[in-house]
Amino acid sequence: MTRALVIAAHPVPDSYNQALHARTVETLQARGWDVDDCDLYAEGFNPVLSEAERRGYHDEPDNIAPVADYVERVRAADALVMVFPVWNFGYPAMLKGFLDRVFLPGVSFRLEEGKVKPNLTKIRRLAAVTTYGGTRVRAMLVGDPPRKCVTRAVWHVCRPRSMKYLALYDMNRATDAKRGQFLTDVGDQLRTL
Catalog residues that contact other proteins under the rule CB under 8 A.
11-13, 15, 41, 47-51, 53-55, 87, 92-94, 97
d(CA 191, CA 38): 20
Question: Least distance from C-beta 42 to other proteins, angstroms?
Answer: 11
Question: Least distance from C-beta 162 to other proteins, angstroms?
Answer: 31
Question: Least distance from C-beta 147 to other proteins, angstroms?
Answer: 21
Question: Least distance from C-beta 70 to other proteins, angstroms?
Answer: 16
d(CA 66, CA 103): 12
Sequence-distant (≥ 6) Cβ neighbours of residue 151 within 8 angstroms: 163, 165
**Residue 97 or 146 having the CB closest to other proteins:** 97
Contact 14, 69 (CB under 8 A): no
Residue 69: name the closest of 92, 36, 96, 42 by CA.
Answer: 36
Reported residue count of the chain is 193
**Residue 49 or 116 having the CB closest to other proteins:** 49
**Residue 50 or 121 having the CB closest to other proteins:** 50
**Residue 47 or 146 having the CB closest to other proteins:** 47
